[in-house]
Structure 1
Amino acid sequence: MLLVTVPVYGLELGASPLMLGVILSSQYLLPFLLAIPLGGVVARHGGRVTLLAGALVMTAGLLLMQILPGYYGLIGGQLLIGLAHLQMVLSAQTIISSLATGPKLESYFGWYSTWLSGGQVVGPLLAGGWIQWAGGVDNLFLVMAGIALLGWLSGLALTGDATLGISVTRKQTGFRAQAGLIRKNTGVQVSIAITVAGMFALGVYGSYLPVYLDSLEMSAVMIGVLVSVRSGVSMVIRPFIPKIISAVGGREKATILALCTLSGGLICMGFAGNAPVIGLLSVLVGLGGGLTQPLSMVVLAESVEREQRSGALGMRLMANRAVHFVAPLMFGAVLGVSGFRLSFGLSGLFIALVVVVLMWLQGRQRFR
Structure 2
Amino acid sequence: MPSTPGRAWLLRLVIAFSFAQGAVSMARPAVSYRALSLGADERAIGVIAGVYALLPLFAAVPLGRRTDHGRCAPLLPVGVVLIAGGCALSGTAGSLGALAAWSGVMGLGHLCFVIGAQSIVARQSAPDEQDRNFGHFTIGASLGQLIGPIAAGSLIGGDMGRTSSLALLVSGAVAAVSLTSLWRIEHVRPAGASSERGDKVPVLGILRTRGVPAGIFISLAVLSATDILTAYLPVVGEHRGIAPATVGILLSLRAAATIACRLVMTPLINLLGRTVLIVVTCLLAAVLCAGVALPVPVWGLGVMLVLLGFCLGVGQPLSMTTVVQAAPEGARSTALALRLTGNRLGQVAAPAGAGLIAGAAGVAAPFVMLGGLLLVAAGLGLRRSPAGPQPPDGLGKARPATEDERGGAGDGRCTDPGSRATTGRA
Larger radius of gyration: 2
Output the CA distance in 1 between the equivalents of 2:181 and 2:189: 13
Equivalent residue, structure 2, for 1:321: 344
Corresponding residue to 1:293 among 309, 316, 326? 316
Change (3 A) 1:19 1:108: same
Q: Does the alignment pair 1:203 with 2:227?
A: yes
Per-residue CA distance 1:208-236 (angstroms, 9 max, x = gap): 11211121111111010001111110012
Deviates more, 1:17-26 or 1:129-138: 129-138
Shift of 1:157: 4.4
Change (3 A) 1:348 1:303: same
Aligned-partner residue type, residue 225 of structure 1:
I
Per-residue CA distance 1:309-347 (angstroms, 9 max, x = gap): 111000000001000111111111011111134332232
Equivalent residue, structure 1, for 2:49: 24
Equivalent residue, structure 2, for 1:137: 164
Per-residue CA distance 1:113-161 (angstroms, 9 max, x = gap): 1121001100101111011387621322221221121122322443423
Output the CA distance in 1 between the equivalents of 2:365 and 2:176: 41
Q: Residue 80 of structure 2: SS of its match in structure 1?
A: helix
Output the CA distance in 1 between the equivalents of 2:33 and 2:39: 10
Aligned-partner residue type, residue 238 of structure 1:
R
Q: Does the alignment pair 1:12 with 2:41?
A: no
Matches within 5 A, 1:1-368: 1-132=26-157, 136-161=163-188, 168=197, 171-172=200-201, 177-183=202-208, 185-248=209-272, 250-362=273-385, 368=398
Q: Residue 48 of structure 1: SS of its match in structure 2?
A: coil
Q: Residue 322 of structure 1: SS of its match in structure 2?
A: helix
Change (3 A) 1:163 1:276: farther
Per-residue CA distance 1:216-262 (angstroms, 9 max, x = gap): 111111010001111110012202211111122x1000000110121
Q: Residue 241 of structure 2: SS of its match in structure 1?
A: coil
Per-residue CA distance 1:279-300 (angstroms, 9 max, x = gap): 1111122112101100000111
User: Runs of at least 4 residues of structure 1 off by over 4 A?
Assistant: 162-170, 365-368
8 Å contact 1:214–1:223 — kept in the other structure?
A: no
Aligned-partner residue type, residue 119 of structure 2:
T
Aligned-partner residue type, residue 158 of structure 1:
I
Output the CA distance in 1 between the equivalents of 2:181 and 2:300: 39
Shift of 1:56: 1.2
Per-residue CA distance 1:68-96 (angstroms, 9 max, x = gap): 32213311111111110000001110000
Change (3 A) 1:215 1:47: same
Identity %: 25
Change (3 A) 1:157 1:349: same
Output the CA distance in 2 between the equivalents of 1:268 and 1:166: 53
8 Å contact 1:62–1:145 — kept in the other structure?
A: yes
Output the CA distance in 2 between the equivalents of 1:266 and 1:339: 15
Output the CA distance in 2 between the equivalents of 1:196 and 1:271: 24
8 Å contact 1:256–1:355 — kept in the other structure?
A: yes
Aligned-pair Cα RMSD in Å: 2.4
Aligned-partner residue type, residue 175 of structure 2:
A
Shift of 1:357: 3.3
Equivalent residue, structure 1, for 2:407: none
Shift of 1:353: 2.5
Change (3 A) 1:162 1:25: farther
TM-score by length of 1: 0.91
Output the CA distance in 2 between the equivalents of 1:305 and 1:186: 10
Aligned-partner residue type, residue 116 of structure 1:
A
Q: Which has the higher helix share?
A: 1
Change (3 A) 1:134 1:46: farther
Q: Residue 69 of structure 2: SS of its match in structure 1?
A: helix
Q: Residue 334 of structure 2: SS of its match in structure 1?
A: helix
Shift of 1:31: 0.9
